Amino acid sequence: SRFEEAAALMVEARGHGLFPKSFSSFTKVDLHDCSAAVARTILRLVLSELQSGARKSDDIIIITGRGKHSEENKAVLSGEMRSFLRDSCGLELTEVPGNEGRVVIPLDSIQKWLKT
């Protein structure tokens, strides 16, 4: 599948030290400077790691940024990743008050998702 190809490339890139902020923590995924396609691939990899047990289950903070470096300073990634996680993956999200550039996937949401 296209995801498997993208995931294999991402794993290879990760092995070469690319996207270090995205994979530096089990509880935080920083997607700053990623395109929407790259960010989706990273999030799918994180979810795959949760399913396989390679990543421990805990609240996961997703950092998308506020769009300061986007055209017209509009946050594109933030909305797209929230939609992807909610609609495509079926995860419940918790907003971070006062910071639209962050969202949390709570542990209870992850545990529910893992059971489906």
User: For 39-55, what is each residue's pLDDT tens digit?
Assistant: 999 999 999 999 999 98
Q: What is the pLDDT of residues 10-28, one digit of tens each?
A: 889 989 988 888 888 889 9
pLDDT at res. 83: 94
pLDDT at res. 4: 85
pLDDT at res. 42: 93
Locate 61 and state its tokens. Answer: 């903070």
pLDDT at res. 24: 83
Question: Average pLDDT in the 57-67 region?
Answer: 86
Cα separation values, 65 from 8, 52, 115, Å: 26, 28, 30
Locate 7 and state its tokens. Answer: 């995931």
Sign of CA dihedral 54, 27, 39, 10: negative
Q: How confident is the model at residue 59 (pLDDT cuts 50, 70, 90)?
A: very high
* 3 state SS of 50: helix
pLDDT at res. 74: 63
Q: Is the pLDDT of residue 114 over 90?
A: yes
